[in-house]
Amino acid sequence: MKALLNLYVQQFKTTLASMFQYRASLLIWMIGQVLEPLVYLIVWSVVSNGNGGSVGNFSTAEFAAYFIILMIVNQCTYTWLMYEFEYRVREGALSFSLLKPVHPIHSDIADNVSSKLITLPIMILIAVILAVIFHASFSTKVWDIILFTPALLLAFLVRFLLEWTLALSAFWTTRVSAINQTYFILLLFLSGQIAPLMLLPHLIQIIAKILPFYWMIGFPVGILMGQITYIDILTGLGAQIAWLVAALILLHTVWNAAVRIYSAVGT
């Protein structure tokens, strides 16, 4: 454990230095992270105002709060691994990682967390500005904030592990863009990104809660909005833990199968 901790410390130093060298790329990435929820915020605000100031249980101000919180949660859980793994396998870049005495996932975790440490303060500032501009209304209580913290951590771990596992499909096919797009479309609709889940048809709500998507984004957003009862929060945390265990088992199984068939196309 101590050796792994030292590894993470050194990896954080390296990746933080690397992130600062690619400031322009980080800026472009952050713009994308802001624009998508901002578009949905504006669309739902217009719909709400045109419907007398509310849609379902959401007022215009609550729509603003929802998508602002969603922007922060998505930034804290988002990964880019599914776009990179195809290149790693096709060009043989993964070969160097396999020669190291530690699992390559640790380097990816460090990279991901490092980027969040750099960008999160800026995203929070943007969220505050948007909250003022759109007159967002928050009903968050102290207990919501306390319970939101483990829910967000579990959401990140579940999303990271599942997307890392799905990225391993590059071992079997060197073109995975169609798989990635299918996944992100499902994530968009079933996680609450395009609209609050409670506004969608009941069948879609059930499917979203059976699958992991809602627990990766919509669930922590709902907690910080103050929309979920404490009993349902505890149940939701249990669902997140169950998906985390399932993701770990799936990752271990797929990784062992993947490395046995690995061949670097670019080498």
Query: Which residues share a beta bridge with 59?
Result: 54
Instruction: Supply the pLDDT for residue 175.
Output: 76
Cα distances from 108 to residues 97, 104, 115, 164, in angstroms, run: 11, 7, 11, 9
Mind listing the pLDDT tens digit for each residue in 194-226? Answer: 999 989 999 999 999 999 999 999 999 999 999
Share of the chain above pLDDT 70, in %: 92
Is the pLDDT at 33 greater than 80? The verdict is: yes
Is the pLDDT at 34 greater than 50? The verdict is: yes
Label residue 29 by pLDDT band (50, 70, 90): confident
* Domain boundaries of the chain, sorted by first residue: 2-261
Mind listing the pLDDT tens digit for each residue in 234-250? Answer: 999 999 999 999 999 99
Strands 54-55 and 58-59: antiparallel
Residue 17 backbone phi and psi in degrees, to 5: -60, -40
CB atoms < 10 A from the CB of 96, how many? 11
SS3 letters across the chain:
CHHHHHHHHHHHHHHHHHHHHCHHHHHHHHHHHHHHHHHHHHHHHHHHHHCCCEECCEEHHHHHHHHHHHHHHHHHHCCCHHHHHHHHHHHCCHHHHHCCCCCCHHHHHHHHHHHHHHHHHHHHHHHHHHHHHCCCCCCCCHHHHHHHHHHHHHHHHHHHHHHHHHHHHHHCCCCCHHHHHHHHHHHHHHCCCCCCHHHCCHHHHHHHHHCCHHHHCHHHHHHHHCCCCHHHHHHHHHHHHHHHHHHHHHHHHHHHHHHHHCCCCCC
Mind listing the pLDDT tens digit for each residue in 63-78? Answer: 999 999 999 999 999 9
